[in-house]
Amino acid sequence: MTESAIIIFWPSIFSSGTGESGKTTFIRQMRIIHGRGFSEEERRTFAKCIFQNIVTAMKAMTGAMTTLRIPYHNPENEMYATWLRDVNTVQVSQLERGYVDGIRRLWADSGIRACYSRRCEYQLLDSTEYYMSNLDRISAPDYIPTEQDVLRVRFPTTGIHDYSFTINKI
C-alpha cells in the first residue's frame, strides 16, 4: 500500500518596518485591489481618524510656522492657529463648522502654504494636501469616507494583524 500526500502551498507575506513606512497602507491597497475592499460601514469607522488627521496636520503646520519663523499673510489667522493648537485632537470626533472655517482660512493663507512647501523640515502627514483639498466633501454632514480616504488615513497600528486575500486564485 502506498501513501500519498497532498501538499498545500499557502503563500504568506510578513511585513515589518518602522512607523509610517507604509505597512498598513500596503495591506489596505491589497485589500482594495485583491480583496473585498471596504464596506460602507467599515469606511464609516475611519471618519473619526480622518477628522483627527486633518486637525493634527493643521496643528503641525501652525506649530512649524512658529518654529520656522514664517509669518501669516493674514495676521487674523494667528487667532485661528492659537485656537486650533488648544484643541485636544484625541477628542475630535467630527469636524465642527468652527474647525472647518478655521482650517480653511489657514490652508488658504500664503504663510501656511510657504510652511507646507518646507514640510521636509518638520513632521507632517503625507496625506495633508489630499485631505485639505477635499475638506468640503469631508466636512459634509453626510460624509462617508471613500476607499481613497481610507487608504490615506494615518493611525498607529499596534500588535499583530492577519489579513487574507486572493491573488490569481491563490
Domain assignment of residue 37, yes or no:
no
Whether 52 shows a pLDDT value over 90: the answer reads: yes
Asked if residue 167 is part of any domain, the answer here is no
Judge whether 28 lies within some domain: no
In a domain, 63, yes or no: yes
Q: Structurally, how many domains does the chain consist of?
A: 1
**Burial (CB count <10 Å: 0-12, 13-18, 19+), residue 152:** buried
List, as residue ranges, the binding site.
20-25, 126-127, 151-157
Question: Would you say residue 17 lies in a domain?
Answer: no
| Boundaries of domain holding 65 | 47-143
2 is a domain residue: no
Binding-site sequence positions for Mg(2+): 24, 157
Annotated binding site for GTP: 20-25, 126-127, 151-157
Which of these, 109, 101, 108, lies nearest to 136 by C-alpha position? 101
CA 83 from centroid of its chain's CA atoms: 22
CATH of the domain at 80: 1.10.400.10
Averaged over 145-156, what is the pLDDT?
89
Amino acid 61: pLDDT: 98
Say whether pLDDT at 163 is over 60.
no
Q: For residue range 98-149, what is the model confidence (pLDDT) as tens digits?
A: 889 999 999 999 999 999 999 999 999 999 999 999 999 999 999 999 999 9
pLDDT tens-digit series, residues 4-42:
666 655 555 555 555 655 566 666 666 666 667 778 999
Q: Is residue 5 part of a domain?
A: no
Is residue 164 assigned to a domain? Answer: no
- pTM given for the model: 0.79
pLDDT at 120: 97
